[in-house]
Structure 1
Amino acid sequence: MRARLIMTVLASLLLYACGQEETNADTHMAEAEAAVPASDSADNPETQANGTCTGTYPSYWQDPNFPDMYESQLVSNQPGVDYKGPVFQLSDAFPAEPVDERADQPWRSSKFDAMFDPETDQATREALALEYGNLVLAYIQEGNIDSGDINTDWDVCNNQVRSWYNIPFQTYDVMSGREFTHGLTREAPVNFSMNTSPDPLNGTMWAVGFFNPTAAYTLGTIWKADGTPEIPTDNVSFADGAVIGKPLFTTLSPQQMPMLENLPAWQANISSPDFCSCQPASGNGQCTMAEQSQQCPRSLNTWGPVTLLQFDIAVKDSRAEGTQWVFGTFVADGQRKAEEQNPWKRISPLGLMWGNSTPPADVLASSYPDNPRENGFKDMVIFWDTVDMLNADGGANAFAHPGHLGCNSRLDGPADKAYSSCMSCHGTASVADQNNNVPPIAAQFGGLTSECALQDSAGNWIDASGAPAQERKVGDTIISYPQIDSIYFASTPAAEPYNTTVQTENGPVNILPGQPDYADSSRTRWISLDYSLQTSISIVQWQQWQQHAKDPEPAHKDVHEATLPRR
């Protein structure tokens, strides 16, 4: 691969020296050839297509068909010679043309127009949201959950109802890269307070996302069939009818969290549930990828199975004014739904949202809107019986109950942060700049003024997770709590740049100074990925691989410097 890169560069220099005029087509060809491809069929003759799974891109971290990507690492994420279980294959034969799926998407009926009307009464909105969410879930599950064995369900290479796809390149990261059994990526640490234990229960979430044909067409405009992406230089927009489904699994057990009883569990090849971290040998700086692989190895049997806790859905629907997206969350409800024949259906809706209930200027997100359990929202629905089910076995710390929701009861699942919301996180989705920077999906992750701040009974400022809150400066300007909320609880318009500028007494202030910094561009605003955090993650990892592949240092010295968007 590197030899090909050198030859391409030399050829380009020769063309320039000879004075040959380079056309736009020549430029694009040179750029495509200069990128180190994810796959080369000549280098990987053993790669075989299987339905929509082509082998063009790595299927998981340490995929043996892509040895350059894990050179000098401790190998712990490949099936052994005696392994007989499922092996994940990436579904990446994306449609070459737009797909019209309206006939198979009953939630697009005009019947549901009223759900998006802010004047609709709460009872009607709730009934419509319940039906809407269940229709989308059934559409996602169709053909994916009836193999007769939960271990072979969600093998989407050959779905007989409709094709489903995965996003490439969530594989070039030792800590979070896909594991080999089901393609799960490490999501985030979680901790819950449950009455089953006097101590906090700490675990880790693992997840895999599936994109329908409409959504996959857009992925195919980025991730090309030749194994190289075309990184967007302008805002990306998914078409109406795009659907994404994402089951999320926890390392915690049904004994610890009773709602997990009777839910599907997978024996996945994961790292330590304590959200393993790495200490560099030098004592400072960052670990190399080789060090990460040694200190945080994967294991199929050491840490037990992972169990379905949450199932997220996302639907592009232009009736959602501004955002044009509907996000929904279902959660484990294994005790109440024990009689449900199919274990994948033992989940209940937690809520549906299509806006972020943006607070007015100078109003805290933690206090707006007023009393949502009683008064409801105009742009989302919360199913409070499910919240109560999740919290029924909660422990002493109410902040850490699994039904914590998001800021002021905005929709967020047990796997998510109590000071955020589904749309707050996903609205940040952007193309990484040349330094692999992306907006932090939560202000707290970026060292910024805390979002969703409130005062406790003693007058101390905390966030909705119970952690201390703090107002911080950007340059010489303090960013207030309402100002940071105006950014993170905006209803970001679909396919428009994520706004990181806030109005202050000192004028407009970019809370991320100097960002974005796109190469060969005067652009000063983020390139939108239309609420797709997975696409943002994949671009970050691709760019990191490109940097490492072109670096003359051996791979064992590579440091994964990019900061990934995370929950």
Structure 2
Amino acid sequence: MESSLCRRIAGTSLLSFGLLLSACGEKAQNDMVAAQAPETTSSSVTSGTCSGTYPSYWQDPAAKFSNMWKGQEISNVPPADWQSPVFRISDKYPRQPVDDRAAQPWRDARFDALFRTDTPAAQKKQLAYDYSWLVMKYIQDGNVNRPGVEDWDVCNNNVRPWYSIPFQTYDAMSGREFTHGLTREAPVTFSTPQGAINTTMWAVGFFNATAAYTLGTVWQADGTAKIPAKDVSFDEGAVVGKPLFNTSTPEQLPVLANQPAWNANISDPSFCKCTPAKGNECTLIEESQQCPRSTTEWNDVRLLQFDFAVKDSRAPGTQWVFGTFVADGQRKAKEADPWLRISLLGVMWGNDTPPDGKLAHNYPLDVKKNGFMEEVIFWDTVNELNKYGGANPMQHMGHLGCNYRLNGPADNANSSCMSCHGTASVPDSNFDTPPLLSQFSGITKECVTPDPENPLVGVDRSGSKATVNNGVSFANIDSIYFANVPAAAPFNMTVETDNGPVNVMGNGVPDYASGRKSWISLDYSLQLSISLTQWMQWQENSDDPALERINFKELRRGVKEN
């Protein structure tokens, strides 16, 4: 990091030199306000749907945000010699509902059969395929392949407007980088024929106008957040698209060949961690010092996964459809458009919930032969991903989720797309939210195969040991995490045990100031939950001395054991 950033100093202005001092070994004074970048790289300039109301990225140099980064080592601002575009957050949200039905052909009646249980498997597979590609085309239209415009610069889309979510910027470890607005996601270990490789995912999400209207009920035009006191519901036709990039090379993961690649301002690809000088949590200053960003130290990131979510009331039980495309650079090398060198991994609109007392690890039975009731997996794509795998099948790119439910290469093998997203909730007064999956907490693990001789212990799908905690059985926890959570309904964390009802997160959780006892739903939007957590942290920390600021409830993903 030090040498690569110092190489930029030659030929730059004194202002640029000031920005880079800390990255070249000279520590910033603890009370120093982050230096300002040149006016030409300011993210606060208004353009189309990009208003500059909220910070566009961690350490955004616009003066009105500078107190957030006070005392930090500055490594996430464009140098004075930066010639490429700079990410701007699209935050000029619609203030009235928007129905884009005329541009959404997947809402046609012919797709009703996708959600019926009596539809033949072959027909359902074709419908899932057509539905997903129509959604992907809708997401990409006007966002890629525009002459003279950076792909996914959504400020001025001439086809339809797209929007970003604010305040994925405060956390120094995961906050948006300045080139494309990518946030650091999960660490992922992949098993390859050459051995295990430790990688990191970086991603950026976009919301259509229908979804952005709901965002605008939370994120106000004056740059503040209105914390929801009631369950949030996205409108019919809301669409979210999210490309996810990986730090591996095509030599390590051949499916990444011929994929879109970005020079992003990332931290160590092996997933940088911070060690606090005292206590259990690093301060934001320590995180900025120990995990700096660079555009030159590491390789480009490459498209590995592309997720989408659609609000669709035809989906029984959830009213949401989730889908995942993955890189397919070898088989689609001749495709002219690099953003179409992807293949559909699967689509789901429910979790195929196990019956009472049954377990998710083996329900439904023999899904490769019999399929699912509430999802479609494209096994040829799974096989293409897995043929590049090494000795550990659960670290192959095509590991999928629990019992082969839909989950992409970036996701956890013990869960599913809808299982994780169903937890999305407003943080309580302690900044608590339900764990994305139970493995990221001290509660009983999900997707566990019990020991035949001792049902109180077992192993989860990744091979990690598991025990029954606080009387919450493996079937109990699966009944929570693989339930079909209705749209805009609170995520349930209470189960019936032999000793009566148990709140698996402990008595008194959630702890909302209003006294509400159930979680406030954010309708499957984890991005909204994460951004609210960071906003609430900033509100609590803004009056604290910079040296004491700690983002002590950042998203806990753990080291992934795919």
What TM-score results when the alignment is normalised by the length of structure 1? 0.89
Distance 2:169 2:275 in 1: 22
CA distance in 2, matches of 1:303, 1:381: 37
Among 199, 202, 208, the alignment partner of 1:212 is: 208
Which residue is equivalent to 1:63?
Answer: 60
Distance 2:263 2:85 in 1: 10
Aligned position for 1:158? 156
Cross-structure match for 2:99: 100
Which of 261, 264, 267 pairs up with 2:263?
A: 267
Partner residue, 1:359: 354
Distance 1:300 1:456, change over 3 A: farther
Q: Which amino acid aligns with 2:333?
A: A
Q: Take 1:479 and 1:289, find their aligned partners in 2: how far apart are those partners?
A: 36
Asked if structure 1 preserves the Cα contact closer than 8 Å seen for 2:43 and 2:87, the reply is no
Aligned equivalents of 1:46, 1:189: Cα separation in 2: 28
CA contact (8 A) 1:437 1:515 kept: no
Shift of 1:285: 2.0
**Matching residue of 2:39:** none
Aligned pair partner of 1:295 in 287, 290, 298: 290
Q: Which amino acid is the alignment partner of residue 412 of structure 1? A: N
The 8 Å contact of residues 430 and 526 in structure 1, kept in 2 or not, is answered as: yes
Q: Does 1:512 align with 2:512?
A: no
**Is 1:430 aligned to residue 455 of structure 2?**
no
Q: Is the 2:201–2:246 Cα contact (8 Å) retained in structure 1? A: yes
Cα distance in 2, alignment partners of residues 202 and 162 from structure 1 = 38
Q: In structure 2, the residue corresponding to 1:394 is in which secondary structure?
A: coil
User: Does the CA contact (< 8 Å) of 2:43 and 2:60 recur in 1?
Assistant: no
CA distance in 2, matches of 1:117, 1:456: 36
In the alignment, is residue 383 of structure 1 matched against residue 378 of structure 2? yes
2: distance between equivalents of 1:519 and 1:128? 43
For residues 478-507 of structure 1, the C-alpha deviation after alignment (integer angstroms, 9 at most, x for no partner) is 211111000000011100000000010111
Superposed displacement of residue 561, structure 1: 1.0
Q: Please report how far the alpha carbon of residue 517 of structure 1 lies from its aligned counterpart in structure 2 after TM superposition.
A: 3.9
Partner of 1:48: 45
Who is 2:488 aligned against?
495
Closer, same or farther: CA 46–448 of 1 in aligned 2, 3 Å:
closer
1:468 to 460, 465, 469: 465
- What is the rounded CA distance, in whole Å, between the counterparts of 2:191 and 2:556 in structure 1? 26
Q: Secondary structure at the match of 1:233?
A: coil
The aligned length equals 514
Distance in 1, Cα, partners of 2:177 & 2:429: 28
SS class of match (2:135) = helix
Q: Give how far 1:519 is off.
A: 4.1
Whether the aligned pair in 2 keeps the contact of 1:537 and 1:565 (CA below 8 Å) is no
Structure 1 residue 406: Cα displacement: 0.2
The aligned residue for residue 250 of structure 2 is 254
Q: How does 1:412-561 map to 2 (within 5 A)?
A: 412-454=407-449, 461-473=458-470, 478-551=471-544, 554-561=545-552
Is this contact kept in 1: 2:361–2:449, CA < 8 A?
yes
How much does 1:430 deviate? 0.1
Deviation at 1:516, TM superposition (A): 3.5
Q: For residues 322-364 of structure 1, what are the alpha-carbon distances to aligned partners after superposition, in whole Å with 9 as ceiling and x for unaligned? A: 1000000000000000011010110000000000010011111
- Equivalent position SS for 1:112: helix
Q: Which stretch shows the higher mean deviation, 68-77 or 542-551? A: 542-551
Inter-partner Cα distance in structure 2 for 1:534 and 1:356:
20
Question: 1:3-23 CA distances to partner (integer Å, 9 max, x unpaired)?
Answer: xxxxxxxxxxxxxxxxxxxxx
The residue number in structure 1 matching 2:12 is none
Which string of whole-angstrom CA distances, capped at 9 and with x for unpartnered residues, describes residues 291-320 of structure 1? 110001011110111000000000000000
User: What are the superposed Cα offsets for residues 117-147 of structure 1, whole Å, 9 maximum, x if unpaired?
Assistant: 0111111111100000000000000011112
The amino acid of 2:208's aligned partner reads N
Distance 1:519 1:377 in 2: 38
- Tell me the C-alpha RMSD between the 2 structures: 1.7
Cα distance, 1:48 vs. partner?
2.1
Partner of 1:228: 224
1:290-369 to 2 correspondences below 5 Å: 290-369=285-364
Return the letter of the residue paired with 1:289: L
Q: Deviations over 1:46-103 (max 9, x none)?
A: 9320110000000000001111000000000000000111200000010111112100
> Kindly tell me: are residues 155 and 457 of structure 1, through their superposed partners in 2, closer, same or farther at Cα, counting changes over 3 Å?
farther
Query: Which amino acid is 2:166 matched to?
Result: P
Distance in 1 of aligned mates of 2:497 and 2:257: 50
Aligned to 1:193: 191
Structure 2 gaps, min length 5: 1-41
AA partner of residue 553 (structure 2)? A
Distance (Å, rounded) in 2 between the aligned partners of 1:152 and 1:168 = 20
Question: What is the aligned-residue identity percentage?
Answer: 59
- In structure 1, the residue matched to 2:174 is 176
1:85 is matched with which residue? 84
Query: In 2, distance between residues paired with 1:385 and 1:57?
Result: 43
Partner of 1:147 in structure 2? 146
Mapped partners of 2:147, 2:394: distance in 1: 39
Cα distance in 1, alignment partners of residues 97 and 480 from structure 2: 33
- Tell me which amino acid in the other structure corresponds to 1:189: P
